[in-house]
Structure 1
Amino acid sequence: MSTDTQHSAPPGEPPGRAPAPPDAPADDRRLFGGRIGSVEVLAALLVLLIIFRAPLATALAEPRLQTWTTVFVSIMVQAVPFLAFGVVLSAVIAVYVPRSFWAKALPKHPALAVPAASAAGVVLPGCECGAVPIAGSLMRRGVTPAAALAFLLAAPAINPIVLTATAVAFPNNPEMVLARGLASLIVAMVMGWLWLRLGRADWIRLPRRPELDDASRGRAFWAAVRHDVTHAGGFLVLGAMAAASINVLVPERWLQTLADNAWLSVLALAVLAVLLSLCSEADAFVAASLSQFSLTSRLVFLVVGPMVDLKLISMQAGVFGRRFAFRFAPTTFAVAVLVAVGAGAVLL
């Protein structure tokens, strides 16, 4: 019998290699397993940036790329504070608010819970980036999906900050504030009721959240915050990148051509709202600058934007699943355009 001791390798390990001791730190176990972690990836990226800093500096000096960078950064700067607010509020709802609270706060009948949840958006200042994780937490706490989705659509559009910004952006058209608030509230309620009628539970796939079962509420809170920042923040970055790319590629001269046709101008600004992916606290100033378009067209821009845009669709796909996002977003777009046009015809 040979006196050499052979270590039996676990599955996936090269033969002859001794396994890491069970009490070894996580980094050591990863090293013994030959895996590459996020620290190694970050170090490699930093090295590549140092090596290729000269060609990167030349590329960044190109005007179109500078415009892309400016749009991307501006979207992120606008959205991140409200995303952080929404993530913290989402974690509070998920960890500290008991399920029984929602049974008492909202009407028991789902059809009545929809307008109640829509009206709750008035008292919760926030952007659509923060409303997505909040709506996910509401569903996990037992709130009917129709009510949570109504809140998701209403909160970014009818809260006091957004309505005040609209009043400042349109000082000579105070009716825009009423038209935006009323139209957005109607869209949120209609979509909630449509979900009650046509929605299916298997269209929503909320990610599993085992970290929320932690015995310590403090640990569960921070675990929920880390999860939502990573999950929602990643999709926000993808949406902002797509919006910046489209912003650079669409020629500005097309806008004036579209503005000359009443119906095309409505559709053009609706699509533009989706592509630009502006934060709802800032979109009123962009709409006011599009003075070549009618007030109704700009109202459509203000109603559609907080409810359907590239970053929001990306975040909805990440939080609720792609099957949900690819059904909910087009329907919301159509309802928002129709309601905004109707509100513009009556109030503007």
Structure 2
Amino acid sequence: MTQTFSDDEIDWSAAPPPGQKPPRRTPLGGRVGSVEVLAVLLVLLVIFRNPLGGLISAPVLQTWTTVFVSVMVQAVPFLVFGVLLSAVIAVFVPRSFWAKALPRHPALAVPVASAAGVVLPGCECGSVPIAGSLIRRGVTPAAALAFLLAAPAINPIVLTATAVAFPNNPEMVVGRAVASLIVAMMMGWLWLRLGKADWIKLPHRPDLDGVSKMQAFWAATRHDIVHAGGFLVIGAAAAATINVVVPEAWLQSLAEQPVLAVLALAVLAVLLSICSEADAFVAASLSQFSLTSRLVFLVVGPMVDLKLISMQIGVFGRRFATRFAPATFVAAVLVASGVGMVLL
């Protein structure tokens, strides 16, 4: 016997939309949400508190935690600043402004955008979402990428920190500014020559049309925080792992050979992922290395490091990061070495 039901007897609201899986439910019939997951984690922490306590007290893990927290503490304020500024650009700044502010010819827009980094206090964590927002607003990618590379290295806070870290070597400030500006312009022009539009895949933002400016502002802010912040955590974790794994004795042996010293500090800048406002003090502490190799450290770090590569993947896509980061690394090493040999 076939039983039939009327429309009034069926709860159509419980049925999932076509092509969508039904929500996962607990044995009691409720949905599994963040509260349930948090409750399970707390129970597991209570059960395994003794072995976890012993694990956390290990010196290696303490070092890892210290490095991870320090990278996050340095980066998060500037990431938030960059995300907020990115949302302001996306919502409140009209497209016509950029047409007037930058030269129409892309080759001329690159040096102007590079020099604009002087007026923006921030680090690489904030420059990534800002560059993505500039591209969304119609700025040529070459100019936006030049700004991305220049802003973290030549802004007033970074240059002042460099002067304080090297009080007896003011030429380090000049060398850092000149080398960083040259690399930023080189990479912008290189993108004009060889870059392809399909290499950049900006994440889809929610449709902001038809809503108030404040609603659009907070929607854009939440979107960029999720994308850039998540990859920042991944990059900080990778940097902390490298800090624990790489033996310090290796650096001592490499410092005695000029060419290897330059390459070693360039790679170290990528691995340590120090915020550009603090990297000058780390470079000053590496007194066993030459000034030229330390200048390479200061130029490479704000342009190519683990957290920056991770954020570039999140904002611009993997195809972009796998091409742009290696090319930037090579250009930064060569230009900084040349500037160092002339000025230092």
Question: TM-score band (shorter)?
Answer: over 0.9
Structure 2: gaps (5+ residues) = 16-21
Matches of residues 63-78 of structure 1 in structure 2 within 5 Å? 63-78=59-74
Deviation of residue 43 (structure 1)? 3.2
Report the more deviating stretch, 65-74 or 211-220. 211-220
Match among 120, 123, 136 for residue 124 of structure 1: 120
Describe the SS at the equivalent of 1:78. helix
Once the two structures are superposed, what CA deviation does each residue of 1:53-102 show, in whole Å capped at 9, x if it has no partner? 22211101000000000000000000000000000000000111100000
Once the two structures are superposed, what CA deviation does each residue of 1:22-79 show, in whole Å capped at 9, x if it has no partner? 9xxxxxx957797533343333323322322222111010000000000000000000
On the 8 A contact 1:126/1:159 being kept in 2, the answer is yes
Structure 1: gaps (5+ residues) = 9-15, 23-28
RMSD of Structure 2 on Structure 1 (CA): 2.1
Matches of residues 1-348 of structure 1 in structure 2 within 5 Å? 5=5, 18-20=11-13, 36-348=32-344
Using a 3 Å threshold, how does the CA distance of structure 1 residues 48 and 183 change in structure 2: closer, same or farther?
same
TM-score (norm 1): 0.92
1:13 matched residue in structure 2: none
- Percent pairwise identity: 78
Paired with 2:61 and 2:97, the residues of 1 have a C-alpha distance of 50
Describe the SS at the equivalent of 1:207. coil
On the 8 A contact 1:277/1:309 being kept in 2, the answer is yes
Paired with 2:43 and 2:10, the residues of 1 have a C-alpha distance of 30
Paired with 2:170 and 2:39, the residues of 1 have a C-alpha distance of 53
Number of matched pairs: 335
TM-score (norm 2): 0.93
Runs of 4+ displaced beyond 4 Å: 1-4, 29-35
On the 8 A contact 2:265/2:294 being kept in 1, the answer is yes
2:18 matched residue in structure 1: none
Using a 3 Å threshold, how does the CA distance of structure 1 residues 229 and 109 change in structure 2: closer, same or farther?
same
Paired with 1:172 and 1:248, the residues of 2 have a C-alpha distance of 32
